[in-house]
Amino acid sequence: MSLDALAPLPAPGVHSPPQEPSRPRLVPVERTARRRRPRLAYGIVAVLGAAAIVAAQMVISILTTQDSYALAELGSQQRQLSWERQILADEVAGLSSPQYLAANASALGMVISEAPTFLRLSDGALVGTSQAASWQSSIDAVGRGAVANALITDTPLVTDPAATIEGVPVEITSEDGAATTPPPLTDGLPTPTTR
């Protein structure tokens, strides 16, 4: 509650003179107020802060760009290495295939015996007839097999490096004798030239 509410009300018919609000006294200024200089330190800090933010954004942008190029290069290397790994896996599968092993054994003069002989490991005894094979094998391991193996068609035999499983002379595909990998795709997929 305010004090004006508790003040006595004027009697009816009696008017009190209106009160004028009090005004502050005006005093003449003897000299002008000194103009404040802006603080130089605040301005320098603001400019340096803005420059630091811009520099940080540029550094982050450059590092991001470098990382994207590094990722692209690593992706290309990964594709190249996966191709090489697939080529090596195919070579291992071909070299361990029964056709390649039989062709190398045949080139060494080994034949398939009709009466196999086994060695019993428990006592070291030979089980079966042990006689030298004086006949020719009916299986031509070096010649064309029933099912051709594309992985070893051009692979030279270990016993005769100048011949393959099909008897074709070996053509070396690269300078060091290793298999060549497909060319890396740098400009997208290769397309034929049309006229």
The per-residue pLDDT for 52 is 97
Strand-pairing partners, residue 118, are 127
Answer whether 174's CB lies under 8 Å from 167's CB: no
Strand residue runs (E) in 102-174: 118-119, 126-127
The per-residue pLDDT for 81 is 95
- Ranges of residues in the chain whose predicted pLDDT is under 70: 1-21, 113-114, 130-148, 166-190, 195
**Mean pLDDT for all residues in the chain:** 76
* Confidence (pTM): 0.42
Answer whether 126's CB lies under 8 Å from 117's CB: yes
Q: Which of 110, 88, 89, 90 is nearest to 101 (CA)?
A: 110
End-to-end CA distance of the chain: 101
Tokens 């340096």 -> residue:
48
Token pair listed for 20: 């004028």
